[in-house]
């Protein structure tokens, strides 16, 4: 199943991230797919907002992984934000501790997940963003399995 939503502005994309953040919980992995400048980081920032992450969420372009402490319904949860654009070989995923993020107490958002396809858990949500510049973006939520289908049912418009 997939849901398509159009986002006219960066703010709307961030809002969609916040909406999705409201249905995430520890152990979730979200793969953010899209070209440079599509809006993956903007979307991730919205998820951070839903988790009441303090301080700015900046792009982990150079450090590959940023980790924040967030909250879901009063319970602390790690929010792990990765940008693997600069990863040269999938094996490097082990060195930088990618799998350490796939834990019950962490929600993991991954920009450029393609390179570590083999390391990704099967159970994940795919968010695909297309469009660039000041054009509106098309954001597709691809649910794998019934569980995700159920959870993204409401992701059909920017509220």
Ligand X SMILES: Nc1ncnc2c1ncn2[C@@H]1O[C@H](COP(=O)(O)OP(=O)(O)O)[C@@H](O)[C@H]1O
Binding site for ligand X (CB under 6 A): 7-10, 12-13, 34, 36-42, 59, 111, 134, 136-137
The β-bridge partners of 143 are 125
Closest CA to 87 of 66, 50, 112, 109: 112
Q: Which residue is nearest to Mg ion (CB)?
A: 41
Among Mg ion, ligand X, none, residue 7 binds (CB under 5-8 Å by kind): ligand X
Q: How far apart are CB 150 and ligand X at their closest, in Å?
A: 26
Nearest to 28 by CA among 108, 146, 111: 108
| Distance in angstroms (rounded) separating the CA atoms of residues 117 and 14 | 25
Q: Report DSSP letters for 78-124, one per residue.
A: EEEEEE-TT--STTHHHHTTGGGGSSTTEEEEEESGGGGGGGS-SS-
User: Measured from the CB of residue 36, what is the shortest distance to ligand X in angstroms?
Assistant: 5
Q: For residues 131 and 65, give the distance between their C-alpha atoms in angstroms, rounded to a whole number.
A: 25
Query: Between 49 and 149, whose beta carbon lies closer to Mg ion?
Result: 49
Q: Cβ of residue 94: shortest distance to Mg ion, in angstroms?
A: 23
Please say which residue, 72 or 115, places its beta carbon nearer to Mg ion.
115
- Among Mg ion, ligand X, none, residue 145 binds (CB under 5-8 Å by kind): none
Residues 8-67 that bind Mg ion (CB under 5 A): 40-41, 59
Residue 59: CB minimum distance to Mg ion, A: 5
């Amino acid at each position: 199943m997939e849901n398509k939503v159009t986002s006219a502005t960066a703010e709307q994309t961030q809002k969609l991230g916040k909406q999705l953040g409201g249905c995430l919980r520890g152990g979730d992995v979200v793969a953010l797919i899209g070209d440079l400048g599509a809006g993956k980081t903007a979307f991730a920032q919205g998820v951070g907002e839903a988790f009441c992450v303090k301080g700015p969420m900046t792009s982990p372009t150079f450090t590959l992984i940023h980790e924040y402490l967030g909250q879901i319904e009063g319970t602390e949860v790690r929010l792990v934000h990765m940008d693997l654009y600069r990863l040269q070989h999938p094996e490097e995923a082990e060195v930088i501790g990618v799998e350490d993020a796939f834990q019950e107490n962490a929600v993991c958002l991954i920009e450029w997940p393609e390179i570590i396809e083999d390391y990704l858990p099967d159970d994940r949500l795919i968010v695909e963003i297309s469009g660039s510049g000041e054009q509106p973006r098309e954001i597709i939520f691809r649910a794998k399995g019934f569980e995700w289908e159920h959870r993204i049912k409401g992701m059909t418009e920017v509220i």
